Structures are given as structure tokens and as C-alpha cells.
Structure 1
Amino acid sequence: MKHFITICMMVVCSMTANAQQTPIYLDDAKPIEQRIDDAIARMTLQEKIRVIHAQSKFSSAGIPRLGFPDFWTDDGPHGVRPDVLWDEWDQAGQTNDSCVAFPALTCLAATWNPDMSLIYGKSLGEEALYRGKDMILGPGVNINRTPLGGRNFEYMGEDPYLASTMVVPYVQGLQSMGVSACVKHYCLNNDEEYRHQVNVVVSDRALHEIYLPAFKAAVEQGKAWAIMGAYNLYKDEHNCHNQYTLNKILKGDWAFDGVVVSDWGGCHDTDQAVKNGLDMEFGSWTNGLSAGTSNAYDNYFLATPYIIGIQSGKYTTKELDDKVRRVLRLFFRTTMNRNRPHGFLCSESHYEAARRIADEGIVLLQNKGNILPIDRNKAKRILVVGENAIKMMTVGGGSSSLKVQREILPLEGLRQRFGNDVVVDYARGYVGDVSGEYNGVTTGQKLKDNRSESKLIAEAVEKAKNADYVIVVGGLNKSDYQDCEGHDRKQYELPYAQNRLIEALAKTTKRLVYVNISGNAVAMPWKDKVGAIVQAWFIGSEAGNAITDVLTGDANPSGKLPFTWYASLNDCGAHALNTYPGTWRSAKDKSAGFSKIIDEEYKEGVYVGYRWTDKNNIKPTFAFGHGLSYTTFSMSNLRQSAKEMTRDGKLTFTVTVKNTGSKRGAETVQLYIKDIKSSVDRPVKELKGFKKVWLEPGEQKDVDMTIDNNALAYYDETTGTWKSEDGEFDALVGNASDNIMLKSRFMLK
């Protein structure tokens, strides 16, 4: 009630202040840029400042006098976050802000299907519209550099080409609904530990070849309306106000015409914010993150301090007018867009979309003896083991935590599918995080179990003796130091004595299936003792149904890994070279409030993921692009449209794909390019094309993949430009980075 009265008083005061003014309406028949010019000419200094910083936790002010409504953001990227109070993180207590939780972006990337990205973006946009949101804070496209990265589950894997291809339709689908994407976290936000203090040291070549392409694609191809700056530093400047990444690259080289939004609390200095590319400052309390006053938002770096700087002559209005122009352009694309479609919340079409994406993104990693799909003739009794089979995963993980209308759990999905025909028993197996709460949203689950590890394992083993199939649903969860914002994982191994549990069950049954719930790879020392391994990600509202679809064969798995699954951390370049998490030093500029900075040098350069394992002849547990099916495929007859290619030309490769098995399924044809001889050190091969094709048993299709000079170029640090060199290249075609089936050679001239 207190908050309601406060808001009402604010509204009354605003109405009183404007009561003596005649409302001004801008001519909406004019082109947008002319309307922006008109608005800027009419705005006071206070109104200009008003629109470039937050007025509440998730909103910024409009201009009532000119007819611009307030602008509302909300967290994504997997669903629309529940509403909080005006200036508190506590829940607003609404009953109409539940949502559909879509699969995490690692799962979306694992579909290797841009059509799924488009469906994802449109569905999320519809939910956002219904909830009155004008911007969703997502998608995330930071590169998976280390499997310990706490926020990897929100991103699209390790490869810049895959992430670039998948992010564009997501942005287009979301913005087709009149809701702005806010692509994050730009840039080099590749781990979470000490994220406010990490200063990334990286070569220009690695920056442009590995860490920027997905952001560039989102801007140049997806036409993203907003970009969110990252917490970390680059060249000793915070990335929410960074002269090099924002002014030079984003707004200069890429001609970005949208808005740069600070991550919440990512702005640290008025002078840098004014000059180094930040357009809208968001956060919490006075300094954007911690300390507070009664008029917190007026004290933001881009609020009263900025006005004082202009009035004192320290700043001109040149930078301000550019910021305002960008913000008004965002308004006209969203809140002032009279052609915005209608929104829908928790519709069956959204649940269907979530399930389709999950079905296509789940990866069958291993299937010895074709233990899967479950043979219903042999499955009279199934034992499900593991906390993750009964634990809600939509709550937790940081800002992507959601309040869902429903979440089907794995145990529930299996029991519903088999009904009374099969006994589906359960054993806890291990106890992990039983809290079930994040930011005021509670699961309502009572998961507390005080039994010892030995007793839990003993119960599972005893029940397994009488089961036809044993399905362990384990992995990580979205607690601190697992897959969660704010911290990285402390270990590569599975937590909660799960290895001990799996080893014990492997001695008891040959029909052992391990379903891993996570956004990251984990160590699997027991891999060869387990029949089948399924990577099921965090897949949201339809988790139980989708996992059951794959285990039973109702959906033929077609997902492919978007990252390399290392056998150990030392197989990853960032850890092999001891560059993670970095080295502490005193901060040069202490205006951000940090006396120490940690330099994290990316010594592996462009050799991230499969590029590193290829270079060093390391055999991963599962390779980038790997994923099995319940049917089989052949690839043959690789041909190319020409033997030579010019720099302004294109080259098309065609391969025949045939379903040689007995079930309908999908194969993803992957095209890698190898530079035979180069003046610089280059990876053994790099992904430059892929296409997913669905085939009936016995059916075959020709698949085309076209490249241009961009697929052959590297970033030349001496000239600061992209460069390709005359000579021979190999086109390598397969269904995983470690399973190349076909090869052809061509010349660049």
C-alpha cells in the first residue's frame, strides 16, 4: 500500500505540473528522423536528461509533454522476468506476471537451426508485449571460453560463426513484435568471477575473429535496436563506457544507430559516460548498484551530475543530443510504433515452441548398444534417480530467473508418458540445492533430505536391481558457483557426490542412462561404463516433456554440441595456459570504486574450443558439433560450383545426404574451411557454413552451402583490416568437428 500511495502521489504531482501546459503532439505523418528533429528542438535540458537514465529498477522516463510514454525493460533472454516493486528487488506480488520459460540459449544454439531462433524471438516478443515490456535484455552472445563460466548457459557456445548465425533471427523475431532486443554483454564478458574488476587483455585479432562477430552480426544483419555494455574492462576502460569498443567499433565501424544501455550498475563515471558511448544508464540506487538515497535516480552519473556539467560549461550538448536522438529513435521503434502487433501470454503456441526448440536442442552424446530409445517391450519397470529429476530449474541462475505458469519436471514427464503401463519408480540418489528461491520467487518445493550420501546411494542401487532401465537425471543446477550469474564454477567435476552414485549404479545395471542438466560441460570419468548419455540443458517449462520425447523416441534427437566437451580442464586453452582467472594489480583509475583490477590475458588468442584441440591434437570427450540420432545418415558426392573463387565472388558446395536408417530424423551438415598455406598462424579449420536437413528413411537430398570471401579472411593486426590471401583452401564437410567425411580443394585468386 505504501508503494501504491507513493506512485499515486508521483502521478498527481506530474499531472499538476503539466496542467498549465498545452499538450504537444508530434506529426506522425513525417518520417521518423524528422519527428526526432522536431522533438529534440522542443525538449528542455531537463527533459533530455530525463530520458537517458532510469527512473525505477526497470524503466526510464518518457516525455509526457510531448506524448512519449515511459519505457519499460525486463530481463530475458529465456522468458519475461516477473515484475518487481518500483525501487526494490522484492516481487510486486502480481498474479498475471507468470510466463513460459523457453530453453536456455545453449539449447537454442544446439538446435543448429536458425528457424528455431526466429520462432523463439517471436514467441518471447509476444509474451513481452502482453506484459507491457518495450525491451528484453537479451539475447546473450558471449563466447564460451572456459567451461567454468557461470553464465555460459545464457550464451550460444564457443564458435563465432554458429553464434552469429543463430542470433540474427532471434533479434529479428523479437523486434518484429515491436519489442527491442538488447544484445549482451558487449563485450569480452566470458567469465563471471570478479566481473566488475576483470580487465581483459586480448589481441586485436582474437577480439575481431572470436569475440566480436556475433555482436557484429546482431547489429549489421539483425539490425538490433540496443546493445548492453558489459561489466568488465577492456584497455582499462569499463565496457559500459569504452572509447574503443563503443565509439570506434560499434558506432563507428559498424554504424550502429541504436542505443547503448549500461548493465545494471555498470556505469562508473560521468565524464566517461558522456564521452565514451553510453546512451542510457540503468541500475539500482545512487551509484547504480549499492549505495542509495531518497532521490537515487537523480544522482545517476547521467542525471544531475551531467546537468551540472553542461550548465558549468564542462560539456556541450553535442554528446547529449546524440544520446537523446538514439533514445527517441528507440521510442519510435517501440512505444511510439502504432503498428505493434498484439501480445499473448502463456499461449499453447508458446509452449509448443518451447517444446520444439527443446526437442531439437537436446543432444544424444552416447548410445552404446542402442540402449535408447527406451524399448517399451522391455521396460516394465523404470527407475529414475537424481535430484534434478524433481527440482524446478526455472528459478535461480541470476537475472534470467523466472516465475513460470508451469514447469513439467523429468520424473513427471516420464510418468505421464508411460501411464499405468510401466512402473516408474524414483530414488533421490543425491541432495544438492534445496532452497528453491530467488529474488522473492519460490518454487514451493520441499526438497530437504537429511540422509547421508551412503544411504542415498544404497537406496538407488537396491532399487536399480529390479529395474529394466535406470535413468540418472543429474548435472548442475542454477545455484551460486554452478550455472549462475555472478560466480563461476569452482570445479569441473559433478557436485554432490554424483560420480560416486553413477559408478555404483554402473556396477548394478547395463541399461544405465545418464541425463545431464546443465549449460556447461562436466567431467565424466565414468563415461565408458554408462550406456547412454543425453545432454538436456536447462530447457524451461516443457523440460519433462521434451526429455521424455527424446528418451522414448517420440522425438528423434538432432541436437549438436555448440561447444567442445573437454575430458579435463587442462584440455582447454584458457586453463592449459594458466590465464584464467587472471592476475591482480592496483587500479590505475579508482573512480569506479575499485582499488584493484584483475588482468586476464587471453593468451590462447584465436585458439578457443575446437580450434585449440585441433591445434594440439587433443581428443575431447565429445567434439564441437557432435550429436547422435536414432537413425543413420550418409554424406556423399561433394561438389563445388567452381574450382576457383575471386574475392568479390561466391562459391557453393553441394553434398548429398541420405537417411540410411529406419526412422525419420535430421542431420546437420557442417562446412569447415582450412587455409592450406598462410602468412599467419591459422586454425586447422573453422566453421563457415552449416545446414540442418530432415529426411524420411531412405530419402536423400542435396544440401547447398555458399561461402564468400569473409569465410577465407583473417583479421590483419598490422593494417586493422580483414585480409584473405591467394592460394589453396580445403572445404571439409562432416557432421562434427572431429568427423570430417568429405573434402574438396579450391583456389582463391
Structure 2
Amino acid sequence: MKHQALIQRLTLAEKATLMAGKSVWETRDFPEKGIPSIFLSDGPHGIRKQEGEGDHLGLNASVPATCFPTAATLANSWNPDLLEEVGQALGTEASSLGVHMVLGPGLNIKRNPLCGRNFEYYSEDSYQAGKLAAAMIRGLQSQGVAATPKHFAANSQELRRMASDSIVDERTLREIYLTGFEIAVKEGQPKALMSAYNKINGTYANEDRRLLRDILRDEWGFDGIVVSDWGGSNDHALGVENGSHLEMPGTVFVGQKEIIDAVADGRLSEAILDERVDELLTVVLDLAAQEKRIVDYELQHEIAHRAAAESIVLLKNEDHILPLDSQKTVAIIGEFAQNPRYQGAGSSLINPKKLDLTLDHLSDYNLNVLGFAQGYQRVDKEDDVLLQEAVDVAREAETILYYMGLDEISESEGMDRSHLSLPQNQLKLLEALKALGKDIVVVLSAGSVVDLSWDTEVKGLVHAYLSGEAGALAILDVLTGKTNPSGKLSETYPLDLSDVPSSYEFPASGDYALYREGLYVGYRYFDTTATPVKYPFGYGLSYTTFVYSNLILTDLGAELTVTNTGQLAGAEVVQLYVGKHSRAIFGPSKELKGFKKVYLEPGQSIQVQFTFDDYTFRYFNTITDSFEIEGGVYQIAIGASVADIRLSGEVMRSGTTEQLPDYSQLSSYQSGQVNLVSDVEFSNLLGRTIPKESWKVGQELRINDPVLKLQYAKNGLARLVYKILSWLLGRAEKKGKPDLNLLFIYNMPFRAIAKMTGGMIDHPMVEGILTMINGHFFRGSRQVWKAFLQKNQYKKDLDA
């Protein structure tokens, strides 16, 4: 151990105390023994430091900070160098604010477009997500702060996110849901990692030894610390035993007692506890010793601007309507033009240091603007007066520039979406504008996939995603041609939600989330089954054109030439996909295995090289319990998107094992037609029986059931609490602003009460409360009172 002498000076109580936070955002310190405290802060796309009362979910204000584009936006840049630069900016700002550990980046896979937190995640592809996250981590940590990639792992929905069990087969888990983390850990070397709330195949992620020790530490070489998501620790002692370090937020002496009791009764070895303390101290002492950086907020804003501009995706440009003709009159329509939707909601909500507004800067651009009209209310509510005002303004212009998108209540941490449609009042206005017979260009703001069936009614479509505090001017740069758009989609836009295989059971409303689709997530499904889509993975237009030529394939990699054949300088994202036509191991028709963004002047050519790496040809073999290569011929495809392949060829690879899994009973997975996989076939894929829902209406509620089940409680007061909670959530929805703290309570399991009340309530008290909820009021009251007295006595003994 690195800190054996220091650990020997600590008592068991002190070591146990180090395993939980001191407060919502700080770790425990012992200054007299040379152990400092470090400060943790949310920060996937900005530093959300709360200096007053902390709440983790954005209820209380945070100090002003730079709001960069969200992960879903940055991913569309396909530029690791850009993400590393944004990471450096984030790290500098964190350091200047006294933040030692930034809780991000988020790199969960976008299994389904309805997930309410997709705006915080990079991609539906694990390779792309891992490469971008690794770059962000390197940037952050270059400034002396720790990155904390999250949420590890298979965390794919917000409903019941703290009380859900992800049932996923081993091969899918390793290839889809862990590969991004693997790349991020190996190439980014983060000092910390956040475990997910959910279970994975029956075991809480924060207690999963195979996940946290065998894979993360022993296989990938991770040498940092694992921090629980806030309230995400189930059995704290078991978590510490199996590789988790820091239980957050501060559980004061409640978490400490769990560790001490576990050591006393032999459930946790003190030697194991010493290992975790040593690992924790290595990170804490290093971070606390770093000097504060000085931040230049003008430079931060400039970086945010460039990041937004490079991440904007041009989806449609009929008749070359863009860049806008400065000679034609323009009407600007839409609430989002005056009050932009530029970030998500929840624990990533940033208080922007500076916010650019479209209407404030129109004079800076060569645009012939006739006027502006709000057009619609931000909340989805019809307003015929606003609609008519917009139509009247638009009628006088030659081109209509219509700003639209998802409002805050549509996508948020703590809740999943129920559909892909934009707000109906915005769509109604679009129909009214179309009736004018004018050219329409839409500027879309949304953090995730939306239904774009209406794009046949417009000539131009610019998707800005959630572009941060400088996004408004970045959008104007693209619209006027100051910036040539180079963003490409990092997720597939389906024609219909029903085309997405996981949608039949998403979000899972019971105990189990069944990952029936297996490997076929996103483009892997659509491309394999030749299912038509609206816009494919990797798609994005430019104001110039690129030609691919001269593909050369060797055993080591691929090389090709890209030429800018247009009249403008621009950037192209060259994508490498690998497939295998003849195979014993089923899989997608092709998968992303490389990408490079290149910048070219008009007429310029450049050589692009890809080196085959450890991820290029591998699959996870459940017989050998390791990654292997199937021998044979592989197809190498180079393209501008997964559906726009420009060059292709073949290479040969030798196999690494003759022990192959038997997939003869998996016809759906062999064909990729996984939209209606039977229980029998999914069981065959899992290698075990599918778990069945064990709770039914009328049964007593359990310690790990979510609070939302209070609606079925036997205690009338408990049911009343549910009704009040539902009413408050409904009121927040009508206002158009999600109440994250209420959503957190709604989805959290009862046991989390002991983790989120700062020591006021412990686990035995929660068990008593649950007894009351289940209709045994007096017995439960006695339990609570007895547990309360014991807890207070323990605290008195501790203080003495």
C-alpha cells in the first residue's frame, strides 16, 4: 500500500468515515492527520458548483460558469481534438472554482431515443463514445482535476433508474455497454469513475465485484476510485468489499456505522477496507495538492462558440437555400430565437456566465431581416394570437427562418419521453407558415432524436442540438456561411419510433429492463435489416463536396485520399466500418471501427490513414470469456455515413480460437430481426431463464421498490403521499419546467431514504417506515422509534 503508515494511524471509525462524503459535495477530511477534503461537482458540459445548500439536482443556484455544448452536441463534431480542448477549458474552470473532481463525462449508450438523459451522452455507438470520452478525460485531467466517467454501466432509462435491473447477455454487455468505458479508461486514464444506480443481471452496479474489480481494475488497469451516484449505494459494506470507494452524498455516521458493523461481524475484512482507503487517499492527496488555475472567461466563451459551430449538423439544403441570400428578406419566427434552448435539465444545469441571444446580434450579420415574431408559447399550449402574429410577419418576407425544438419538460434527467414528436403548437405554426408558400429554413434545438417527418415541408434544416451559451451566434455563423457546417449525426433518426427494436418495452415499468435486441442497437439494427431511416448514423451535409479515392488496404490498416471538389473550405468526417459476410459468429452487417475529421481548402487533397487496433475485428466469446477474432475475410467500408459508403475492400484475418459459441437456436439474432424476440430465444441468448416480475398489486412493498409504488400501499396516508407527489409533478409539467427533486423522489427506492437524508434516517428506520406503509402502522412506529433511539445512542457514543 502507498499510504500504509498513514492508514496505521487511523482508527477503524476514521477509516469507515472516509468511505462516505462529508456533505453533498465534499469528502471527509482529517486535517490533524494530513487528510484534506476535496470538492466534487457536476460538470458534463459546465461546472455546476453549488456554494450554498447542495441538492445535486439543480434546485438551488450554482455559481456562474461557462456552459459548453452538451455531450450529444459535441459528439456530432466527431473531433477528439475539439473535445480534448473543451475538456481542458472545463478543467481550468473547475480548478479556478476549487473543484477537484468533475462528475463527467457521461457515456452511456443511447439504447433508445426516448431516454430522457440522452442529451448528456455521446452516441449510440460504443467505439465513438469511448474515443470522445477519452479525449474529454485527457483534457480535464491535464488541468489537475479528476474526470469521473459515468454511469457504469448499462444505465439506459430514467424511469425507475434507481430500482431497475438491466437484463443483458454477456456478449452484448461487453461489446455494446462496456466497450465505451473500456476505451475511456485505457486511453483517458480517469482518476475516478461513477457507478450506475441500476442492477445488472441481478447485482447492483456499485456492488458488482466482476464489474468493479475483475473487469475495471484487473482487466482494464483502472487505478482510480469508484464513487456511487448520489443515493446509489445499496449495501455500503458490500460495495466497499467489491471495489467501490466513496458513498455519496454525505451519509455522516450512518454510512460509517454500516462499515464498522460489517467489520465487526466479519462481513468485511479490515484489510480490504485498508485497501480501499489506500486507493482513495492516493487520489485525494494528489488532487488536493494541485494548484488552482486561472480562467479567462472570454477564451472559455470563444471555445464554447467554436465547439458549437463545429457540432451543428446540416440535415437538409434543398436548392442550396443555405447559406442565406443576403439580398432576400427574412422573417425570424419562434420563441427559441429570443430565448434559446441551449442545455438540458437536471444535475447538468449550468448557470451561464454569458449567454448569446440571436435577436441581440442580428446587426452583426449580413441579413435582411424584416421582423421577428414569437409564434408559440414555450410550453405546448395553443395561442392563436401568437400564431397569427407570426403568420403576419412571415407573409411579408421571402424566406422564413423558423426556430423550433423540444422544450425543457420534453427531455430531462429523471424522466423518459413518451413519444418523439415536437410540441404540437410548434407543428401547428409550421403548417400555417407552409401555407404561405414561402421558403422555410428550420433551426432545430433538441438534445436527442425527434420525429422529422415534417421536413418535407421545409427547404433547409439546421440541427443545433443543445449548443451551449454561445450557440446562438454559432447558428448564425452557419446560416450565413461564415462557418461551413461539418457536424454529423451520432445517432440514427428513424422514420418511426416503432422501428426501434427496444421501443416495445421502453422504458421498462417493472423490476426488469430486458435488453432483448442484444447487439442490434441503433445503426447496427437498421443497417443489418435494411430498415429505412430518416437520417442515418454519421450523416451530415456541407456547403462543399468531397470525393474519396485510392483506397489501399494492408494487414495494418487502410489509407485513402479525400479531395475537396467544391468552392469552399470545409471539413469532412471520414468513417471506417468493418463487417463480415460469411461468419459463424452472428453480428451486425458492419460496425464503426475508426473515424477522422479532416479540413481541406477548395481543390485540396489529403491522405487519410486508419490503423487497425485491438477493437477492429474482435467479438466477445462467451466460451473463452475473452475477446477473440473469428478467422476469415472482412469487408472494410469507408464512407461519409453508415449508409453512404464511398470505398470498400477486403482483408483476411486469422482466428484466435476454435472454441466457438453455439448460436444455432438464435435465428432472430443471426438475421438481426430482433424487433419481436421471443422469451425462449432471449433466454437462449442469456443462457438462463428470464427473470419474472415478482411483485404484484396487493403485495407488500419492498425495501428496493421505488417510491412511485406508494400508489399501491396498504396505508392510506402513504397513498395520499403518492397522490400529492403526482399532483406536484403534474403541476410542474404544466409549467413546462421539470421538478428534478420530485422526479428523483418519485423514482428512488425506499432504501435510498437512508442515503439522502444526511444521517437523519438510517436503514433500520426505513424498514420501520416500510412496515407502516404496508399497513402495520403501530408495529412500524415502534420499529422506527427503537431504531431512532439506537441511532442517536450510537451518535452519542461516537461523539464521546
TM-score (norm 2): 0.79
Query: Which of 530, 541, 544 matches 1:631?
Result: 544
Counterpart of 1:580 in structure 2 is 506
Give how far 1:393 is off. 3.7
Q: Does 2:162 align with 1:207?
A: no
Q: Which amino acid aligns with 2:335?
A: E
Counterpart of 1:399 in structure 2 is 347
Cα distance 1:45–1:736, how it changes in 2: closer, same or farther (>3 A)? same
In structure 1, how many angstroms separate the alpha carbons of the residues matched to 2:56 and 2:518?
Answer: 39
Answer whether contact 1:85 1:92 (CA < 8 A) is retained: no
Counterpart of 2:238 in structure 1 is 272
Cα distance 1:165–1:395, how it changes in 2: closer, same or farther (>3 A)? closer
* Partner SS state of residue 497, structure 1: helix
Residue pairs, 1:394-543, within 5 angstroms: 397-413=345-361, 415-418=362-365, 422-423=368-369, 425-433=371-379, 452-479=382-409, 482-543=410-471
Answer whether contact 1:228 1:260 (CA < 8 A) is retained: yes
Query: Which of 85, 110, 113 matches 2:52?
Result: 85
In structure 1, how many angstroms separate the alpha carbons of the residues matched to 2:210 and 2:359?
Answer: 50
In structure 1, how many angstroms separate the alpha carbons of the residues matched to 2:439 and 2:261?
Answer: 71
Cα distance 1:393–1:61, how it changes in 2: closer, same or farther (>3 A)? farther
In structure 1, how many angstroms separate the alpha carbons of the residues matched to 2:591 and 2:123?
Answer: 14
Cα distance 1:396–1:210, how it changes in 2: closer, same or farther (>3 A)? closer
* Partner SS state of residue 474, structure 1: strand
Q: Does 2:253 align with 1:298?
A: yes
Give how far 1:396 is off. 5.6
Give how far 1:75 is off. 0.4
* Partner SS state of residue 226, structure 2: strand
Q: Provide the aligned length of Structure 1 versus Structure 2.
A: 654
Q: Does 2:333 align with 1:333?
A: no
Counterpart of 1:658 in structure 2 is 563
Give how far 1:53 is off. 0.7
* Partner SS state of residue 308, structure 2: helix
Answer whether contact 1:659 1:697 (CA < 8 A) is retained: yes
Counterpart of 1:69 in structure 2 is 36
Name which of structure 1's ranges 452-461 and 483-492 shifts more when overlaid on structure 2. 452-461
Q: Which amino acid aligns with 1:471?
A: L
Counterpart of 1:183 in structure 2 is 149
Cα distance 1:335–1:373, how it changes in 2: closer, same or farther (>3 A)? same
Q: Which amino acid aligns with 1:473?
A: Y
Q: Which amino acid aligns with 1:691?
A: K
In structure 2, how many angstroms separate the alpha carbons of the residues matched to 1:80 and 1:529?
Answer: 40
Answer whether contact 2:365 2:480 (CA < 8 A) is retained: no
What is the CA deviation profile of residues 220-273 of structure 1, one whole-angstrom value per residue up to 9, with x for unaligned ones? Answer: 111111110111111222222223322332223223211110000001223422
Cα distance 1:360–1:505, how it changes in 2: closer, same or farther (>3 A)? same
In structure 2, how many angstroms separate the alpha carbons of the residues matched to 1:664 and 1:88?
Answer: 47
Answer whether contact 1:79 1:402 (CA < 8 A) is retained: yes
Answer whether contact 2:342 2:445 (CA < 8 A) is retained: no
Answer whether contact 2:637 2:646 (CA < 8 A) is retained: yes
* Partner SS state of residue 186, structure 1: coil
Answer whether contact 2:24 2:54 (CA < 8 A) is retained: yes
Q: Does 2:86 align with 1:139?
A: no
In structure 2, how many angstroms separate the alpha carbons of the residues matched to 1:506 and 1:330?
Answer: 58
Answer whether contact 2:620 2:628 (CA < 8 A) is retained: yes
Answer whether contact 1:51 1:63 (CA < 8 A) is retained: no
Counterpart of 2:666 in structure 1 is none
Answer whether contact 2:58 2:346 (CA < 8 A) is retained: no
* Partner SS state of residue 223, structure 2: coil
Cα distance 1:668–1:88, how it changes in 2: closer, same or farther (>3 A)? closer
Answer whether contact 1:125 1:343 (CA < 8 A) is retained: no
In structure 1, how many angstroms separate the alpha carbons of the residues matched to 2:346 and 2:357?
Answer: 21
Name which of structure 1's ranges 351-360 and 325-334 shifts more when overlaid on structure 2. 325-334
Query: Which of 536, 539, 562 matches 2:490?
Result: 562
Q: Does 2:302 align with 1:352?
A: yes
Cα distance 1:573–1:402, how it changes in 2: closer, same or farther (>3 A)? same
Counterpart of 1:290 in structure 2 is none
Answer whether contact 2:37 2:284 (CA < 8 A) is retained: no
* Partner SS state of residue 652, structure 2: strand
Q: Which amino acid aligns with 1:136?
A: V
* Partner SS state of residue 629, structure 1: coil
Give how far 1:92 is off. 11
Counterpart of 1:27 in structure 2 is none
In structure 2, how many angstroms separate the alpha carbons of the residues matched to 1:91 and 1:475?
Answer: 22
Give how far 1:341 is off. 5.8
Q: Which amino acid aligns with 1:580?
A: F
Counterpart of 1:552 in structure 2 is 480
Cα distance 1:336–1:383, how it changes in 2: closer, same or farther (>3 A)? same
Give how far 1:72 is off. 0.4
Query: Which of 711, 721, 729 matches 2:634?
Result: 729
* Partner SS state of residue 136, structure 1: strand
In structure 2, how many angstroms separate the alpha carbons of the residues matched to 1:465 and 1:359?
Answer: 30
Give how far 1:46 is off. 2.7
Answer whether contact 2:566 2:603 (CA < 8 A) is retained: yes
Answer whether contact 2:88 2:140 (CA < 8 A) is retained: yes
Counterpart of 1:371 in structure 2 is 321
Give how far 1:372 is off. 0.6
Q: Does 2:248 align with 1:248?
A: no
Q: Which amino acid aligns with 1:189?
A: N
Counterpart of 1:262 in structure 2 is 228
Counterpart of 1:222 in structure 2 is 188
In structure 2, how many angstroms separate the alpha carbons of the residues matched to 1:656 and 1:395?
Answer: 38
In structure 2, how many angstroms separate the alpha carbons of the residues matched to 1:408 and 1:343?
Answer: 23
Answer whether contact 2:332 2:369 (CA < 8 A) is retained: no
In structure 1, how many angstroms separate the alpha carbons of the residues matched to 2:369 and 2:223?
Answer: 59
In structure 2, how many angstroms separate the alpha carbons of the residues matched to 1:83 and 1:392?
Answer: 24
Q: Which amino acid aligns with 1:184?
A: K
Counterpart of 2:730 in structure 1 is none
In structure 1, how many angstroms separate the alpha carbons of the residues matched to 2:47 and 2:424?
Answer: 31
Q: Does 2:618 align with 1:713?
A: yes
Identity %: 36
Cα distance 1:298–1:203, how it changes in 2: closer, same or farther (>3 A)? same
Give how far 1:728 is off. 0.7
Cα distance 1:498–1:744, how it changes in 2: closer, same or farther (>3 A)? same
Counterpart of 1:693 in structure 2 is 598
Answer whether contact 1:84 1:90 (CA < 8 A) is retained: no
Cα distance 1:56–1:424, how it changes in 2: closer, same or farther (>3 A)? farther
Counterpart of 2:293 in structure 1 is 342
In structure 2, how many angstroms separate the alpha carbons of the residues matched to 1:364 and 1:534?
Answer: 5
Give how far 1:317 is off. 0.7
Give how far 1:320 is off. 1.0
Cα distance 1:358–1:92, how it changes in 2: closer, same or farther (>3 A)? closer
* Partner SS state of residue 470, structure 2: helix
* Partner SS state of residue 39, structure 1: helix
* Structure 2 unpaired stretches of 5+: 655-800
Give how far 1:462 is off. 2.0
Answer whether contact 1:673 1:686 (CA < 8 A) is retained: yes
In structure 2, how many angstroms separate the alpha carbons of the residues matched to 1:541 and 1:710?
Answer: 36
Structure 1 residue runs of 4 or more that deviate by more than 6 Å after TM superposition:
89-95
Give how far 1:76 is off. 0.9
In structure 2, how many angstroms separate the alpha carbons of the residues matched to 1:486 and 1:375?
Answer: 43
The structure that is helix-richer by fraction is 2
In structure 2, how many angstroms separate the alpha carbons of the residues matched to 1:717 and 1:454?
Answer: 60
Give how far 1:548 is off. 0.7
* Partner SS state of residue 526, structure 1: helix
Answer whether contact 2:342 2:471 (CA < 8 A) is retained: no
The alignment yields a C-alpha RMSD, in angstroms, of 2.1
Answer whether contact 1:51 1:324 (CA < 8 A) is retained: yes
Give how far 1:117 is off. 1.0
Counterpart of 2:661 in structure 1 is none
* Partner SS state of residue 94, structure 2: helix
* Partner SS state of residue 715, structure 1: strand
Counterpart of 1:616 in structure 2 is 529
Answer whether contact 1:161 1:214 (CA < 8 A) is retained: yes
Answer whether contact 2:53 2:60 (CA < 8 A) is retained: no
